[in-house]
């Protein structure tokens, strides 16, 4: 992805809130989501975030103000899910982005600009749905720092499995339990084996965890039996979001051998409302390489472009807001912060691996990157790492509380953004969810 005029850091919009310092959604971003007005019975439809507003793409499409490929893309995005838009591919995505950018730019005029003005809805007045009809959800395991940290909890003498440095590991999750940010969920039940016990017990999860992840949505799919080469992989990726793959660690660690995650992972996965496109992320691509003294990717997972700019430098943070925080009107305590650039495998490698055996992906499918942890303790992407497997209490200074795992009433908030000198700051918004007490048995 090369830079173009939509990445100009000096560009400003006539939507004044988009020009405010620290805004997640300036004119250089233009992420896509699905929305309707809160409390209404309107149909969900595609929208684009600009400042504190949402562009109603159904209204823009109906206005007839766009033409050509941009009009076709807007029409596809006006549906209750973005699958039709994602299926159209990069040329259509770019045409719509460029048309919106040109009509939103300060000083712009004409039918396109007037249609956008008339379509704006305040973000504070909308509710969101999961952006696509997710046919399949796959979660990877691609942070070597997270793998080593968790491995030390499970296998202290051999924390890293021998395949990790050779292959992007993944498992298939449950698409039906992917929910939009802000959706609360109940503490899950399951079976766990306590250390030294002779038999497992069944009951509510006692070691509930979050996972700081990013997700990426598949654009055009591939036919069954036709792998996607790594050199073409990013032509099949629409964009990225924040993702929290909530985890019941006590259930997970008991059930995962020999087939991997099941009930410990499939009860809830939260995604942020906005998909930041790969074109918007172009200024933040960074080189990728495994350390010279470690195994190098096999040829099918290697390409010059992936080495040159396969990584994405997204700044990430985790905030925990307890019920006591909320009672005091406090936003919560930051638990950790890191960058996606530390991931051991790139999104192109993940997609190439996923299709290498001929597995067919479909537009709108969701792929998770796995927990994102950096090289230091303060960059851990899950509380099982921060608490050293539950043996250490993690402080919440604002309230005087501590945590080794999540408690009922806890709200975990993920945030992500990109910034560097010479480029416009863009953000992903928030991904959050509140833990409710367990129900039933």
How many other C-beta atoms lie within 10 A of the C-beta of residue 182? 16
In order of 138, 155, 350, the CA distances from 175 in angstroms are: 9, 30, 18
On the 0-12 / 13-18 / 19+ scale of CB atoms within 10 A, 247 is buried
- Please, are residues 267 and 248 in contact by the beta-carbon 8 Å criterion? yes
Q: Is 128 a catalytic residue?
A: no
Bond before 98 cis per omega within 30 degrees? no
Q: Could you tell me which of 36, 3, 11, 239 has the C-alpha nearest to residue 104?
A: 11
- Give the active site residue among 128, 146, 251, 354: 146
- Please, are residues 215 and 242 in contact by the beta-carbon 8 Å criterion? yes
Catalytically active residues, by annotation? 146
């Amino acid at each position: 992805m090369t830079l173009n005029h939509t990445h100009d850091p000096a560009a400003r919009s006539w939507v004044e809130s988009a020009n405010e310092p620290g805004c997640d959604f300036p004119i250089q971003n233009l992420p896509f989501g699905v929305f309707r007005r809160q409390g209404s019975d309107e149909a969900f439809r595609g929208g684009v975030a600009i400042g504190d507003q949402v562009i109603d793409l159904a209204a823009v499409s109906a206005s007839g103000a766009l033409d050509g490929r941009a009009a076709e893309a807007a029409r596809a995005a006006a549906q209750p899910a973005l699958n039709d838009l994602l299926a159209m591919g990069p040329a259509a995505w770019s045409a719509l982005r460029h048309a919106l950018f040109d009509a939103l730019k300060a000083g712009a005029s004409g039918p396109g600009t007037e249609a956008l003005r008339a379509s704006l809805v305040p973000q504070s007045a909308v509710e969101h749905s999961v952006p696509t009809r997710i046919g399949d959800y796959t979660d990877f395991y691609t942070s070597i720092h997270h793998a080593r940290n968790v491995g030390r909890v499970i296998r202290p003498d051999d924390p890293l499995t021998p395949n990790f440095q050779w292959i992007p590991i993944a498992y298939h999750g449950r698409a039906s339990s992917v929910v939009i940010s802000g959706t609360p969920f109940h503490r899950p039940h399951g079976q766990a084996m306590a250390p030294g016990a002779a038999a497992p017990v069944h009951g509510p999860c006692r070691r509930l965890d979050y996972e700081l992840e990013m997700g990426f949505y598949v654009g055009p799919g591939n036919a069954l039996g036709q792998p996607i080469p790594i050199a073409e992989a990013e032509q099949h990726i629409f964009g990225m979001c924040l993702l929290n793959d909530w985890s019941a660690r006590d259930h997970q660690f008991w059930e995962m051998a020999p087939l991997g995650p099941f009930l410990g992972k499939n009860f809830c996965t939260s995604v942020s409302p906005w998909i930041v496109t790969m074109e918007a992320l172009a200024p933040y691509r960074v080189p990728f390489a495994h350390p010279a003294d470690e195994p190098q990717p096999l040829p099918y997972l290697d390409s010059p472009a992936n080495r040159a700019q396969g990584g994405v430098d997204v700044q990430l943070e985790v905030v925990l807001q307890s019920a006591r925080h909320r009672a005091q009107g406090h936003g919560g305590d930051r638990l950790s912060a890191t960058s996606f650039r530390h991931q051991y495998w790139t999104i192109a490698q993940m997609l190439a691996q996923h299709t290498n055996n001929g597995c067919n992906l479909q537009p709108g499918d969701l792929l998770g990157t796995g927990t994102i942890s950096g090289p230091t303790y303060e960059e851990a992407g899950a509380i099982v790492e921060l608490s050293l497997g539950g043996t250490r209490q993690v402080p919440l200074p604002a309230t005087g509380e501590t945590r080794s795992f999540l408690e009922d009433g806890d709200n975990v908030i993920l945030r992500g953004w990109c910034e560097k000198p010479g480029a416009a700051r863009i953000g992903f918004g928030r991904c959050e969810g509140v833990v409710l007490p367990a129900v039933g048995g």
